[in-house]
Amino acid sequence: MPVGKLLKGCGFAFVFLAGALASGCASVPDVTTGAFTQVDRIDTALKRGVSTKMDVQKVLGAPNGFGSSVMPGDPETREIWFYDDVELTDYHSEGGGVFRMNVRQQILLVFFKKEAFDGFMWYSTKTVRQR
Amino acid sequence: MKTDRIIYFAGLALVILAAALLSGCATQSALQVRQPFMPDKYKAVRIEPCIDRTSYTGERDIAAEATLTLTEKIRQSGLFEIRDDAPLVLTCEIEKFEEGSASKRWLWPGWGATRAWVSVMVWEQPGDNVLAAMRSRSNVESGGLYTIGAEHYILGTAFDDIISQMREWAGGKTPGR
């Protein structure tokens, strides 16, 4: 009965594959925008009014976005580099098709005045990171 | 006759499934243009050594490999001459590198993925003026044993995509478009 055996084999393979794909036992998938920008080095590695854009690139990497802004009280335009990092840290099913997810996010803005590093601000949800 | 049909469709389904699982490499690109390309002015580049920002702990010096690969790709592209005194500077980073495993992803798509994420910034010197930024993320997440060796060509795939983005910039892509 080679045909019967073949069909049985195919059926088993499909059942195994479907079971594997449908099993909800997977660990947290690697869903991230990449390595997080190291904000803890900014204070020591960069100097306001001295460090150049290339210095900033060496410390923080390539930004995700570029822009410019005028700050209140100072009419001079500042260039801004934008860094954004997001990572899925944990998720689990609550039943009924509902999933709860924990996400770590970090946003960093770096300001330049006359081509020199002029300051930064950042926000992170690191405190609620569970891993 | 009915059995033949079942076998035919089962075979077809297996072929489709195999094709889906074997389709390996996917690349995501992001090009940001800050200044239009000026062909008369931008003829030569200097390439800075790539910075490794990964947590890769293997035996390979991927920063050196990436620098060499980028240099070769630029040379082969014919886009720029490579000169130490060039006014254009390319900085490069490896943001993520995972060697992965062909046998793992053959068993389970997504497991043992090979990844190379790189970014390149084009600067005009003097003045630290950023002209363009390119990012490429190449992943081999599924595929059979024919994806053995992906860890060796994945950097080249990512830099091929960077070169394509440079061509797009050189071809007239302007800021905000």
Q: And the tokens for A84?
A: 């954004």
Each residue's pLDDT tens digit, A20-74: 444 444 455 677 777 778 888 899 999 999 999 999 999 999 999 999 989 888 8
CA-CA distances (angstroms) from residue B31 to A60, B45, B97, B133?
Answer: 19, 18, 20, 6
Q: What is the pLDDT along chain B (177 residues), one digit of tens a residue?
A: 567 777 777 776 666 555 544 456 788 888 889 889 998 889 999 999 999 999 888 889 999 999 999 999 999 999 999 999 999 999 999 999 988 887 787 787 778 888 899 999 999 988 889 999 999 998 887 776 777 778 888 899 999 999 999 999 998 877 665
B106 close contact with A: CB closer than 8 A: no
**Residue contact A3–B34, C-beta within 8 A:** no
Nearest CA in chain A to B94: A61
DSSP H stretches of helix in chain A: 2-22, 42-45, 53-60
Candidates B98, B125, B127; CA nearest to B113 is B98
Candidates A28, A33, A30; CA nearest to B28 is A33
Candidates B76, B85, B52; CA nearest to B162 is B76
Long-range contacts of the stretch A55-60 (C-beta < 8 A, 24+): A55/A117, A56/A81, A56/A110, A56/A112, A56/A117, A57/B91, A57/B121, A58/B51, A58/B91, A60/A108, A60/A110
Rounded distance, CA A60 to CA A37, Å?
Answer: 6
Strands B51-52 and B44-47: unpaired
**Residue contact A35–B96, C-beta within 8 A:** yes
CB atoms within 10 A of CB A65: 13
Residues B92/B119, Cβ–Cβ less than 8 Å: yes
**Residue contact B130–A6, C-beta within 8 A:** no
Query: DSSP letters along B89-116, please?
Result: EEEEEEEEEE---HHHHHHSTTTT-EEE
Candidates B6, B53, B114: best to mutate against A (most CBs of A within 10 A) is B53
Each residue's pLDDT tens digit, B145-174: 777 778 888 899 999 999 999 999 998 877
Q: What are the extents of the domains in chain A?
A: 28-128
Q: What is the interface pTM, i.e. ipTM, of the complex?
A: 0.75
CB atoms within 10 A of CB A123: 11
Decide if domain B24-170 falls under CATH 3.80.30.20. no
The shortest CB-CB distance from B123 to any of A7, A54, A65 is to A54
